[in-house]
Amino acid sequence: GLIVLPLELLIGNNLIGLPFFKENPFYFLIGGISVNILAFVVLLMLYKSTLKKQWQQYRQHLWRNLLLALVLVVVSHLLIQFIRGALPENLIKIPADTADSGVLQTDFKENRQLVALFLAALPSFIAPFSEELVFRYLLVGKAPNHFIRGIMLFIQAILFGLIHYANFNGNLYATIPYMTVGFFFGLIYLVYRNIWGSLMVHWIFNTVNQMIPTLFIIVLTLLGIAN
């Protein structure tokens, strides 16, 4: 399970180096999301019994847990904003030509542009499942004792931030807020002792940040309100 995310990043980040994908950015998006889905399916197959068992526990107080998850999502947002505000602005400034915007500004026409927009947001929708299983369940939850668990809490937070470096065009300083929220997700997992505790917070966090705004833009475009 631990090698799934590194392989996903290795393959996904090197697809653009292949001539076919470099010349066809739309298919690069399809290739990238296919790698994300494959990683998700592999981890789901490996840990489906754990997910099912812990879901049965989580759903016993489902509405209370979902309400708490919403509160924790707000706290996560505030935490990121606080850390960003505390860091020197020149260190975390992101160049305008990010990888994602570079893809989305290519010659996609009509409905294909909307499909590309949706595909670019889709990884954020499924990533919480893979990331929570690896970072929180495997690295923190499988630690053999409290001492190692405490060390892994910090290590997984750093790794969680680093895997998002592409979101910030390779600016490692800009990943520090995500390291902080990764630590926060780790604490949530330790309190719940249930992967769904941190997974639902992470999934709602990503959905609110990326998937919902993307769907909103797509709907407005289809209605002719936005371009």
Q: Tell me: the pLDDT tens digits for 150-177?
A: 999 999 999 999 999 888 888 899 999 9
Contacts for 135 with CB less than 8 Å, ≥ 6 apart: 156, 159, 160, 182, 185, 186
Q: Which residues of 155-169 are buried (b: 16+ CB within 10 A; e: fewer)?
A: ebbebbbebbbebbb
> CA–CA separation, 136 vs 157, rounded Å?
9
The pTM assigned to this predicted structure is 0.90
User: Based on the number of CB atoms within 10 Å of its own CB, is 119 exposed (0-12), middle (13-18) or buried (19 or more)?
Assistant: buried
Mean pLDDT of the chain: 90
Give the per-residue pLDDT at 99.
43
Q: Phi and psi for 18 in degrees, rounded to 5?
A: -80, 135
Name the percent of the chain lying above pLDDT 90. Answer: 68
